Amino acid sequence: MASPEEELKRIQPTLRRLWSFSLLGKKVVVMQEKNFVKEGPNIIVGNHCGAFKDVAVLLKIAPRPVFFTANKEIFTKEEFNRLILKHLRRHLKDFGLVANAILKPLKYYFVRYVSTNIAKIGTIPVDFRTSKREALRLSQEYLKKGRAVIALQGRGRVQPQDPHPYVSPFKRGASIMAYNLYRDDNISVPVTPLALYGTQTPFLIPARIIISVGEPMYITDYLGGGYSDSIENFRLALEARVKALFLELIRA
């Protein structure tokens, strides 16, 4: 059986076309691209306000194969179809049904191809209605093998009611993985913070997407007070850094 890296290489030309389709009308600008970790284990954390466009951008700009957790609904054609329609109606209101009809031939190919191949390229399914413990375990196994894992934070859309609408409060997942790997396997995993802006613009609407990549951060700099305190210290530091990167790219 082919490895996820081999599958990614095999379907790379098609993936490029799918990224282009997902980001139709969008111009992508990357700031501080040199901060990406190019080999070895790596966790990439950032804000998540653009649904599938966030992942499409990262797959496009990352200098290496990257793996991510994804809603298990996109692993089947029927559920993925419903998810896309829900997204179009949320962002485009009544026009969402019109857009869905116009895009139907392209969407059919997109949905069929993604749902057929997403498991083959190492994507980790997450059921958002239940525990994410299994996803964390699988992600840690990927990191032990020297892979890069994306752990975006948020619900995939802007939250106007939140104190920071574009950067939701971080969960503990990335911090837990970094702590466990250091404690159990003596692996100090670099965690790369990044901020995205522009992905919240609806599909097909022209916009500029800007990504600011920060220098890697390490759990070892935030140890103290035991398991819970160390994880919380690191979680807060990662969240603060992504907020700072976001402000920097807005000012730029």
CATH label of the domain that carries residue 182? 3.40.1130.10
pLDDT tens for each residue of 64-104: 999 987 766 666 777 777 777 776 777 677 777 777 677 77
Cβ atoms of 188 and 40 within 8 Å: the answer is: no
Range from 22-26, 106-110, 218-222 that averages highest in pLDDT: 218-222
Give the pLDDT band (50/70/90) at residue 129: low
Please, are residues 72 and 126 in contact by the beta-carbon 8 Å criterion? Answer: yes
Q: Which domain holds residue 228?
A: 25-70+122-251
Whether residue 239 is contained in a domain is answered as yes
In terms of pLDDT, which residue wins out, 138 or 104? 138
Residue 4 placed within a domain: no
Residues 41-74: pLDDT tens digits?
999 999 999 988 998 899 899 999 999 877 666 6
Tell me which H or E stretch contains 45: strand 42-47
Q: In this predicted model, what pLDDT tens digit does every residue of 169-189 receive, in sequence order?
A: 999 999 999 999 999 999 999
Q: Is residue 84 part of a domain?
A: no
- 162 in a domain, yes or no? yes
The reply to whether 193 falls in a domain is yes
For residue range 179-221, list pLDDT tens digits in order: 999 999 999 999 999 999 999 998 889 999 999 999 999 999 9
* pLDDT for 101: 75
Model pLDDT, residue 88 = 74
For the chain, how many structural domains are there in total? 1
Judged against a pLDDT cut of 90, whether residue 124 lies above it is answered with no
5 within some domain: no
Tell me, yes or no, whether 49 lies in a domain: yes
Measure the N-to-C terminal CA separation of the chain; round to a whole number of Å: 46
Residue 104 lies in a domain: no
Q: What is the CA radius of gyration of the chain?
A: 18
pLDDT at 30 over 80: yes
- pLDDT tops 70 at residue 131: no
